């Protein structure tokens, strides 16, 4: 058995929304306080405050604000982590109202939330949830209450789980694209359009009518479809494979181009993140491969023929024949075979080994 951590997400009943909203406003108040405190310390004394340094300034405020004392510590710890990550003297303020208000967030430290009487118990309050995982069988570690764009609240908790090791031995290469989110070396494809099929027209109508509630609902449905499809696809691959190789195409760079909408709809980043942590949990190989020349290189003979598709003009060519060996290639299948070959260390021309 392999032991690893996993985050479970369950929805909180709507009757607890007013209480959670009040707690979230208190969290925003504490965040803004430590934000200003840290900024003044750096500006006036040239001293960067650690989470430990901030604790005396927030000690005892939990009772007045309706927050658990450990929640105050979690806020300070999260603030310091993000300050170091983004290398900023001051982070953005958390807004409790207005059009650009921050979505609710209430961090919970390990041991500050428990499962009691069929409910989540935290800070003297019981929160009824839709328990789809059987939370009573787990010991809660760190957790948080989070709000989505529709005003619904969720309880996210980290737990320890044990699973049997994966015994799959297949080797798969994956090429990421726009019409198909992923094309595997064995011919399996994940179509990108399935995420929003049938909802684009409804979304356009709701946007023209300025129905913000309906727009948020449709966006949430599309996001849920995308997550569900990517989770099932990644789980299928991890269950049957011992090695998974994927191209290193960067969605963060392409979202700054005219292809931004298509790139975000495809969900490349989500798929790579899911494959990364699922492979780590299963103990199998996962690597990102340099995509230089993978489309132009013949996967059969390994050369760069003159007949290969080149540049932007060649993007519309979906099939081409190698002038060196005479083999006809599907553009995506050829690319993904080269990715798999590079992952194994069998070099084709222009494809470096990581």
115-168 pLDDT tens trace: 999 999 999 999 999 999 999 999 999 999 999 999 999 999 999 988 777 777
pTM of the model: 0.81
Cβ(230)–Cβ(274) below 8 Å: yes
What confidence tier does 348 reach under pLDDT thresholds 50, 70, 90?
Answer: very low
How do 328-330 and 319-321 pair as beta strands?
antiparallel
Is the pLDDT reported for residue 352 higher than 50? no
- Compute the distance between CA of residue 300 and CA of residue 322 in angstroms, rounded to an integer: 9
pLDDT of residue 131: 94
What confidence tier does 353 reach under pLDDT thresholds 50, 70, 90?
Answer: very low
- Compute the distance between CA of residue 163 and CA of residue 166 in angstroms, rounded to an integer: 9
pLDDT of residue 314: 62
pLDDT of residue 78: 96
- Compute the distance between CA of residue 241 and CA of residue 235 in angstroms, rounded to an integer: 10
- Three-class SS of residue 183? strand
Is the pLDDT reported for residue 26 higher than 80? yes
Tell me how far CA of residue 1 lies from CA of 165, 283, 352, in angstroms.
Answer: 6, 11, 36
What confidence tier does 52 reach under pLDDT thresholds 50, 70, 90?
Answer: very high
Share the mean pLDDT of the chain.
Answer: 87
pLDDT of residue 346: 54
Question: For the residues 47-67, what does the mean pLDDT come to?
Answer: 93
Weakest-pLDDT range from 22-26, 94-98, 346-350: 346-350
How do 113-116 and 180-184 pair as beta strands?
unpaired
Weakest-pLDDT range from 41-45, 204-208, 275-279, 332-336: 332-336
Is the pLDDT reported for residue 350 higher than 70? no
């Amino acid at each position: 058995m392999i032991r690893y951590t996993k985050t479970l997400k369950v929805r909180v009943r709507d009757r607890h929304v007013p209480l959670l909203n009040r707690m979230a406003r208190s969290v925003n108040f504490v965040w803004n306080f430590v934000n200003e405190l840290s900024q003044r310390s750096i500006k006036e004394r040239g001293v960067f405050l650690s989470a430990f340094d901030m604790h005396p300034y927030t000690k005892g405020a939990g009772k007045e604000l309706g927050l658990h004392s450990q929640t105050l510590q979690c806020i300070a710890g999260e603030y310091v982590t993000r300050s170091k990550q983004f290398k900023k003297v001051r982070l953005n303020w958390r807004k409790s109202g207005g059009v650009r208000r921050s979505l609710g967030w209430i961090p919970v430290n390990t041991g500050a939330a428990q499962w009691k009487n069929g409910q989540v118990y935290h800070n003297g309050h019981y929160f009824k949830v839709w328990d789809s995982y059987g939370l009573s069988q787990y010991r809660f570690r760190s957790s948080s209450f989070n709000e989505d764009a529709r005003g619904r609240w969720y309880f996210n908790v980290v737990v320890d789980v044990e699973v049997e090791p994966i015994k799959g031995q297949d080797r798969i290469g994956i090429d990421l694209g726009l019409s198909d989110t992923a094309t595997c070396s064995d011919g399996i494809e994940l179509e990108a359009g399935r995420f929003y099929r049938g909802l684009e027209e409804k979304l356009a109508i709701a946007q023209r009518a300025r129905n913000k509630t309906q727009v948020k609902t449709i966006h949430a449905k599309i996001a849920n479809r995308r997550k569900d499809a990517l989770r099932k696809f990644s789980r299928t691959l991890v269950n049957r494979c011992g090695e998974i190789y994927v191209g290193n195409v960067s969605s963060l760079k392409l979202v700054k181009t005219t292809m931004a909408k298509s790139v975000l709809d495809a969900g490349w980043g989500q798929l790579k993140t899911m494959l990364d942590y699922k492979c780590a949990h299963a103990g199998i190989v996962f690597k990102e491969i340099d995509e230089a020349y993978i489309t132009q290189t013949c996967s059969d003979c390994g050369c760069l023929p003159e007949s290969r598709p080149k540049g932007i003009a060649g993007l519309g060519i979906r099939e081409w024949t190698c002038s060196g060996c005479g083999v006809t290639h599907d553009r995506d299948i050829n690319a993904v075979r080269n990715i798999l070959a590079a992952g194994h260390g069998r070099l084709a021309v222009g494809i470096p080994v990581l």
